[in-house]
Chain A
Amino acid sequence: MSDALTITGLDCFYGEVQVLREFALDLRRGEVLCLLGRNGAGKTTALKAIMGLVPAHAGSIKLGDVELTDLPAYQVPKAGVAYVPQGRRLFSEMTVAENLDIGLMTRGKGAATREAVLELFPVLRERLKQRSGTLSGGEQQMLAMARALCVEPDVLLLDEPTEGLMPSMIARIRETVARLRERGVSTILVEQRVDAVLPVADRVAFIENGRNREIVDVQRLRDDPHLVRRYVGVG
């Protein structure tokens, strides 16, 4: 498989504090790559850097042949990267349909895309006229993902999508990620819990102190629990 996204030598700072150090990553087409690491390791910063929300002081982020660090933040989704941040961040005063419309308008997508997205999240079809702030936590997560998918991204970035959700919802989110992989969408998934990752990821990157220490196939992770203990602190 060729790479959908390639990060090399990425340095990022919050003020004086360096958060990412020579961060490197390759995301293959149609794979689910999980970033695992302790709190403050730099997982969310890596996603924000891809989206242009944290400036890159050095290094490169390439989506295919497009250098994303040259683009203003609002151009990154147009280039084909969608981001679902931690905490969902919906437009709570807007209805479900209006939230989806905002996503569709980004790249001028229409009814066909909307249908394809609603097929993935049938529960949203029944809630189209409901204000998004009144949805349950799981439904809000689905809407946040649905809105991101309305841009028909090549690369999807998910920041702790299962956080605070009940097990049945977590299973549905996983199922959706797996279906997106079948559709050829490459996904970077940030998680803190290993059990949330194993059923869906192809590879896992361990992040420590702003560096990508190691990338392993998920099978190796199953075989070697010491790896998880070493980087995340739990087994």
Chain B
Amino acid sequence: MSGAKAISLHVAVIILLFALNFLLPEYHHGVLARVMVFAVFAMGYALLFGYAGLLSLGHSMFFAAGMYGAALPVLHLGWSAPLAFVAGIAAGTALSLLIALLALRTTGVAFMIVTMMFAQVFYLAIIYFSPWTRGDEGFALDRQARIVDLGGNLVDLTNPTARYMIALLLFTIALFTMLRVVTSPFGRVLVAIRENEERTRMLGYNTFANKLVAVVVSGTVCAAAGAAYALLFGFAGAGFASVQYSILPLLWSLLGGAATTLGPALGALFMYYLVDITSGYTSAYLLFVGILLMLLVLFFPKGILGTARDRWARWLP
């Protein structure tokens, strides 16, 4: 029963986003497409942070691995967008596996610091190899490279509607993948690890292996978001590998509810529009952002949907 409610809610969110494509003015089209891609990034992050209880400050490297893994082959090798997208995801998967094998030797604060240091190395590597990556300035992808041939039909990724729909498709796949993962036995084991790792091991679970899979799935989803960002918005830059882009998904997850499937997306939407609207009125918009965030922490300590689940809707996944 609660499973049916959860699926209905998720389907309703997708239908709403689909309908908004026909209702919203063009400006919000672009914003929502971007928010949906960032929401995928946040969902990938929240799988590790919210469900497995592993606080990483290095997820910008997975996003950037996807971004550069997709954009560099387009720029230097002339690959098609779909192939580049797969390459971006593969780059994120490989990197997250390597990082997981090294970083999971640590726990708690040490894990946070180690992931941050690896991300910093990744960021500096992008700067160091600037003849190929164009460093801090980044690079734009040609429009021609962003026209995709899908069985004879040409899809132009620079077209706002096509971009919106592809972002929605990615968001839908990521959302239902997350829902499937967190309600699976694997998802329950992750929550058990978050609650008490030693106890989980005592109950017969290989906690290292489960955490390893969680990091790889999380990194892969974040890389998919990075690859999609590069191809949909035609840009890759070192700024996306900076520590700021590791903190943002943490903030989005905390705001929306880290251990919920929809919370990270809600957090990304909320933050994006909060900055967008307040910056239109004042240059001191961060002050308003800060006050609103404080109010949220006071009244929604587990994030918007996390608190809602505690108080009103226990069935929320």
The answer to whether B206 and A83 have CB atoms under 8 Å apart is: no
With A74-B201, A102-B188, A105-B189 as contacts: A91 and B206 at CB distance below 8 Å: no
Task: Evaluate whether A102 and B192 lie within 8 angstroms (CB atoms) in the complex, with A51-B202, A77-B203, A78-B204 already known.
Answer: yes
Q: Does A70 contact B (CB under 8 A)?
A: no
Residues of A within 8 Å of B199, CB to CB, are 85, 89, 91
Name A91's closest neighbour in chain B (CB-CB). Answer: B195
| 19 A-B contact pairs sorted by A residue (CB < 8 Å) | A53-B202, A74-B201, A74-B204, A75-B204, A77-B202, A77-B203, A85-B202, A89-B196, A91-B196, A91-B199, A94-B188, A94-B191, A94-B192, A98-B188, A102-B203, A105-B185, A106-B203, A147-B203, A148-B203
The 6 closest A-B pairs by CB, nearest first: A77-B204, A106-B204, A91-B195, A74-B206, A89-B199, A78-B204
* A side interface size, CB within 8 A: 27
Q: Is A101 an interface residue (CB 8 A)?
A: yes
Task: For chain B, residues 209 to 245, give those with C-beta under 8 angstroms from any C-beta of chain A.
Answer: none
The answer to the question of A63 belonging to the interface, with a C-beta cut-off of 8 Å to chain B, is no
Report how far A85 CA is from B200 CA in the complex, Å: 12
When distances are taken between beta carbons in the complex, the residues of chain B under 8 Å from A129 are 314
Interface positions, chain A 68-96, Cβ under 8 Å from B, are 72-78, 83, 85, 89, 91-94
Per-residue contact bits, chain B 165-197, to A (CB 8 Å; 1 contact, 0 not): 000000000000000000001001101100110
- Inter-chain CA distance A93–B117, complex, in Å, is 32
Per the bound structure, the CA–CA distance linking A75 and B204 in Å amounts to 6
Total contacting residues, chain B, CB less than 8 A: 18
Q: Which of A51, A74, A76, A106 counts the most chain B CB atoms within 10 A?
A: A74
- Known A-B contacts A89-B196, A92-B195, A94-B195; the reply to A73 vs B189 at CB < 8 A is no
Residues of B within 8 A of A89 (CB): 196, 199
Measured in the bound complex, the distance between the Cα atoms of B188 and A106 in whole Å is 12
**B118 interface hit (Cβ, 8 Å):** no
Instruction: Give the complex CA separation of A78 and B203 in angstroms.
Output: 8
**B204 touching A107 by the CB < 8 A rule?**
yes
Asked if A73 and B202 sit within 8 Å, CB to CB, the answer is yes
Nearest opposing residue in chain A for B314, CB measure? A129
Residue of B nearest to A147 (CB): B203
Q: How far is the CB of A24 from chain B (nearest CB, A)?
A: 24
A74 and B185 in contact (CB under 8 A), knowing A51-B202, A91-B195, A92-B195?
Answer: no
In the complex, per-residue mask of A200-234: 1 if CB is within 8 Å of any chain B CB, else 0: 00000000000000000000000000000000000
Q: Which of A85-137 contact B (CB under 8 A)?
A: 85, 89, 91-94, 98, 101-103, 105-107, 129
Provide the residues of chain A in CB contact with B207, threshold 8 Å.
Answer: 74
Taking the closest CB of chain A, its distance from the CB of B69, in whole angstroms, is 34
Q: Output the nearest chain B residue to A148 by Cβ-Cβ distance.
A: B203
By beta carbon, the residue of chain B nearest A83 is: B202
The minimal Cβ–Cβ distance linking B302 to chain A, given in whole angstroms, is 10
Distance to closest chain B CB from A165 (angstroms)? 20
Q: Find out whether the CB atom of B204 lies under 8 angstroms from the CB atom of A91.
A: no
Say yes or no for A151: interface residue by CB 8 A criterion.
Answer: yes
**Does residue B205 face the partner (Cβ distance < 8 Å to A)?**
yes
Q: Answer whether residue B276 sits at the interface, using C-beta atoms and an 8 A cutoff.
A: no
Q: Could you tell me if B203 and A53 are in contact, using CB atoms closer than 8 angstroms?
A: no
How far, in angstroms, from A75 to B202 measured CA to CA in the complex? Answer: 9
* CB closest residue in chain B, given A89: B199
Cα of A106 to Cα of B199 in the assembled complex, Å: 12
> Smallest distance from the beta carbon of A45 to chain B beta carbons, Å?
15
How distant is the Cα of A224 from the Cα of B247 in the complex, in angstroms?
67
The answer, yes or no, to whether B198 is at the interface (CB within 8 Å) is yes
Residues of B within 8 Å of A107, CB to CB, are 204
Given contacts A78-B204, A147-B203, 11 further A-B contacts (CB under 8 A): A53-B198, A53-B202, A75-B204, A76-B204, A93-B191, A94-B188, A94-B192, A101-B185, A101-B188, A102-B203, A148-B203
Complex Cα distance, B207 from A107, in Å, reads 15
Residue numbers in A under 8 Å from B189 (CB-CB): 102, 105
Task: Give complex CA distance A207, B202 in Å.
Answer: 24
Inter-chain contacts of A77 with B (CB < 8 A) = 202-204
Q: Give B53 Cβ to nearest chain A Cβ, in Å.
A: 11
Of chain A, the residue at the smallest CB distance from B259 is A93
A73 to B202, CA, bound (A): 7
How far does the alpha carbon of A77 sit from the alpha carbon of B202 in the complex, in Å? 7
Contact between B195 and A93, CB atoms less than 8 A apart: yes
Chain A nearest CB, measured from B209 CB (Å):
9
